[in-house]
Amino acid sequence: MVKRSLWFLPVALLAACSSGSPDDGDEPNGPLGAVPDALTESAKGPIDHGGGASEVWAVQNQWMDTTTPAAAAAGIAWEASSGLTWEAKYGKWLASFEIIPNSDQTSETIQISTPYGNKKIAPPSLECAETAMALRGMFSSWYHLPFFMTGWDDKAKRPLYAGHFGFVDPNGNNVSPFPRFKTQYQDKEASWHTGDPWPKDAKLRSLHLGSGDEVAFLEPGAGAGAWFDEVTLNKRVGYFLRLLLVYFGSVNLADPSNLFNIKPEATAPGDVLLERWQKQGIGHTIPVFRVDTVNGKPAPSVATGSMPRRQPMWTKPIDNRHYFISDETGGQGNAGDGNPYAKLGGGIHRWRVATLSGGKWSNGVPASDASAYIAASDTAAIAARPKKFDDTLAFGSAEDRKTAAIQMIDSARTKLGQLPASCSSRTLREDGFRILYDALQELEQKDQSAVDKQYRKLEDYVFGELEYTKSKTCCWNTTTPAMAQVILDFAAAEQAKAAANHQCVQPTIFRAVGSGDGYSTWATHARDMGRQADWRAWSEDEPCAQRTVTEDTTTWRGDPDYCSVFGLQPTPPHTPNNSGGPP
């Protein structure tokens, strides 16, 4: 146990509800949100019942240990007698990951080291918040460290805690019908030795998080449950992590009861950058894996999951700088819902660390992090961070920025060819163009129109950027490459008709508009092409507060004036042009 005198526990304000849904019917309905602000004082943590039936793993170490036999031992990313805390080792572990091609060869991802001999494994397909929570929970379980997150059980109107002790209420009692992990599932840690066959749990291997969590590199039809089975000897942990990811999301990470704000200059591997553009609903979670130094300036590398799920996509410092300087990471101004960005929980954060005192668990800030800590109530310091990052992060040469921007744009276009409703890919492409505009202004004194004329494609206008909170298309994660072909064929036909009439028309943006489900234009075109079977109706593939909108909202970035850039064009072929330039 760590003495309380080594910690300070600032009062935390909690954010809004998160998203998630079970897929096997064994758990209670609904995601877990955050404790209402008025009740945060009574939501410190649960009473301890160490060794109870709901326990997932036993706590044997503490995060600040450095000299105990376990802390002094060599590990997956550190030498023996390293003198490092487990918190520092967590960062070393993340920084040690190899970078490998992802499953579909469209980008790079991480290869995760495990403490089981030389076993390394590619990651599963995850949402962005799922990536951060899975890594933290997995590491905690491997080294028997205390870990828990706080959520809100809206049905019972009380906090609910998920951690090494299972899913419990403030009194530390198992919340029914969450599993009693210790009595229901097996732990193979003590019986397995390096070189033995890997023990498998058939039921765990059959479970999924939801759509898009496939891990075909393990076995056909495998999902997240199979992946958790491959990285946990204690099968209780695999069952627990799946449920943690089902019931907790990005809004829980933005909740200062689980993570705390830090100063930009303190950013280190293991920290988590959060984008928040709304008080309720999802955001974007960006785990930091490395922080290198380029020309004397910090240069963080990240890997992010997404909606729809994907293997975490590795991005180098020059590719991800835009995340850190965005106002959506807790910066200046107000979000679309009218709340100041600085009050939405965005920005750079660090995990709170669980300790036991007086028979009760609490999540606190280590004294060693006191100089890095920013209170959630200090909105001025929070709002100043994106500008601070802009001033201090490595920027790279204009040529490097140009190369990185083109790669970002191409990657986003590839993804849109697979998932044409993807709003995150549309935004990634436009972020790439922002970088490209700046680089080519410096390199060649080109203005935005000249850059668009050289680098824009018809598909960039067709898949115009949408405002997430006002666009139901952004909730549609099950579109297909065949649908993308229909959409782009319609766009090419639209331009061909205009050119034949000696006209220029702005390409129709693929979005919800009009009666029905909002996509009748493309459904009709699919029918006319004889590809009616390829078209799918809209579906709410993630919680979608904007489900009832009759017209999606484009952003100023996503609706540039096509005709002012390209003007009247010769009649194009009746097929999409994917080679660059105008259609």
Q: What is the pTM of this model?
A: 0.83
Domain ranges, ordered by start, for the chain: 13-61+84-387, 398-566
- What confidence category does residue 28 fall into, taking pLDDT thresholds of 50, 70 and 90? very low
CA dist., res. 283 & res. 276, Å (int): 5
> What is the structure's pLDDT at 274?
96
Closest to 200 (Cα-Cα) out of 222, 177, 178, 183: 222
- Report helix, strand or coil for 150: strand
**Segment 479-494, tens digit of pLDDT:** 999 999 999 999 999 9
- Long-range interactions of 27-30: CB distance < 8 A, separation 24+: 27/177, 27/178, 27/243, 27/246, 27/247, 28/155, 28/175, 28/177, 28/178, 29/155, 30/154, 30/155
347 in the Ramachandran plot: left (φ > 0), alpha (ψ -120 to 50) or beta? left
> What is the structure's pLDDT at 152?
82
Average pLDDT, the chain: 88
* pLDDT surpassing 50 at residue 1: no
* pLDDT surpassing 60 at residue 5: no
**Segment 279-310, tens digit of pLDDT:** 777 889 999 999 999 889 999 999 999 878 89
- Report helix, strand or coil for 545: coil
**Segment 354-408, tens digit of pLDDT:** 999 999 999 999 999 999 999 999 999 999 999 999 999 987 889 988 998 998 8
Check if the beta carbon of residue 239 is closer than 8 Å to that of residue 179.
yes
Closest to 274 (Cα-Cα) out of 336, 231, 326: 326
Q: Exposed e or buried b for every residue in 238-271, given b needs 16+ CB within 10 A?
A: bbbbbbbbbbbbbbbbbbbbbbbbbebeebbbbb
Which stretch of DSSP H or E encloses residue 289? strand 284-294
> CA–CA distance from 266 to each of 124, 139, 220, 389, 390 (Å)?
29, 22, 43, 11, 15
